[in-house]
Amino acid sequence: MINTVIFDMDGLLVDSEPLWGLAMQEVFNTVGVTLTPDLWHKTTGLRTKEVVNYWHRHFNWSGKSEEQVTDEIIATVINMIIAQGRSMEGLHYILDFFKERKFKIGLASSSPKKLIDAVIEHLGIRDYFQAVASAEFEDYGKPHPAVYLACAKALGSSPLECIAFEDSVTGMTAAKAARMITVVVPEAHNRQDARYALANLKLDSLLEFNDAKLLAIQH
């Protein structure tokens, strides 16, 4: 029986992907690296330290360690989200939808815990979640399923009882690998990616989810 829902965060609940891009551009510029949107979209869904490691291998900058660059990006994103972070369309609708139906609700994000805390406080949604899992504490980040499995375990749920909501191919892959029913809400520029066919359901907005769709994805 499906009784649990687990949400990704960045790009799904909070409109943070543009802020991540701005923060990375700002910090990478300090080490002489210029990242265009086409480049930083390549690493969407990965943990921050994995993004930094990827681009360090590519550009091989000097002057700042990977750890320092990672910490600066996270601090910059947190400041930007607190200053201008906006919820995604349908945020409260979807959380209330599952709360009213007595689902266990969790969050499984690639972001570090301090960023997750900043976002859910900023959006005022902490009380919706019975468990929050960060891939920061896992050996592997998405597309590995570890963070989804950890969140399900914290909720006392089998992965087979869970629906996962995602916005990226990387996150969808992680949720599917965890054997969860997977709903994707891709950003507009990514909606035509053929890989989203792997999901059980693809939406343009969280507002499109309803009882009929909940019933359909369980069969």
Q: Indicate which residues carry an active-site annotation.
A: 8, 10
Contact criterion met (CB below 8 Å) for 13 and 87: yes
Q: Residue count of the chain, please give it.
A: 219
Tell me the two tokens of residue 63: 């002057």
Task: List the end-to-end C-alpha distance of the chain, in Å, as a whole number.
Answer: 11
Q: SS3 of 3, please?
A: coil
* CA atoms within a 13 Å half-sphere pointing along the CA-CB vector of 98: 27
Q: Which long-range contacts (CB under 8 A, 24 or more apart) does 147-154 make?
A: 147/108, 147/109, 147/110, 147/174, 148/6, 148/108, 148/174, 148/175, 148/177, 148/178, 148/180, 149/178, 150/108, 151/6, 151/106, 151/107, 151/108, 152/4, 152/6, 152/106, 152/178, 152/180, 154/106, 154/130
